[in-house]
Amino acid sequence: MDIRKFLPAGRQVKDNLARRIMFGLCLFVLSLAFFMVFGLYQRAKPILAMRPLKDLLFSGAWHPTQGQFGLASFITGTLWVTTIAMGIAVPLGILTAIYLSEYAHRRTREFAKPLIDLLAGISPVVYGVWGVIAIVPLTGFSALTGGIVLAVMAFPIIISIVAEVIRTVPFEIREASSALGATKWQTIKFVVLKKAWPGIIAAVILGLSRAFGETMAVLMVAGCSLGVFPKSVFDPAYPLPALIANTYGEMMSIPLYDAAVLLAAFVLLLVTIFFNMVGWSILLRIERREAGG
């Protein structure tokens, strides 16, 4: 029963006004992603009208003064750096989350959680400076260096989400497994992780989204050499986000240059939105399942 109809007329008016204002603000926030996608597409249309999308995405020739705007080398650099980052962050993040959720003492968890949140809140520039000081002397300006820095940046989101998902696994399942003679690790490996697997995948996807779209830290440590296809982890890489940050606003007198850079931003935004939608949809499905169960 709606109790609002029993409220005085003045309070009903205020309640309706507040509800509509909040709905309008919510709609405005949700529409921002649409306006960003639409705006970038409109600015990228000139080059899409002049060059086939296939040529732009799979050509490695980036010579703006000659009218060549191939993004393949930048996409390759993005994939290299992101793959290295996730290869480091995923196993370490999951194992850390398992320890904090299943093995660590309550005081250890209470001590670790603020530190993990602190890592998530540190500015990317600080991570970049740390990479230049601590990692570059060992590995040089390379895809490996960018991957290591991005892995550290992806740790907090993977650890936090995986630990939260593991905690949603009912304690009774653990007790049943132990009652059947399974060790603690066997229970975690074959029962807890199996139950939490969709949430772990979501955490990996969201961590991948963070690594894929990161700009400043990678720009500072990955080398960013134009036209270079990294053939090993020690070669320089020039990811898409670094290209956008490093070149936008330069040489705008060159025809289609502005549209090419904004096309890179458009592609990056679409991929990031896709990863986030997939990751959060999995988490929402888990939340609904737990609420219904």
pTM higher than 0.95: no
pLDDT at 133: 92
* Per-residue pLDDT tens digits of the chain, which is 293 residues long: 455 555 566 677 777 788 889 888 888 888 888 888 898 899 888 888 888 888 888 887 888 888 888 888 888 888 889 899 999 999 999 999 999 998 988 898 888 888 888 888 888 889 989 999 999 999 889 889 999 999 999 899 899 989 988 888 888 888 888 888 888 888 988 888 888 888 888 888 888 887 877 777 888 888 877 767 778 888 888 888 888 888 776 666 777 888 888 898 898 888 888 888 888 888 788 777 766 65
Which are the contacts of 272, defined by CB distance < 8 A and separation ≥ 6? Answer: 209, 212, 213
Cβ 158 vs Cβ 97: under 8 Å: yes
Residue 268 contacts residue 218 (beta carbons within 8 Å): no
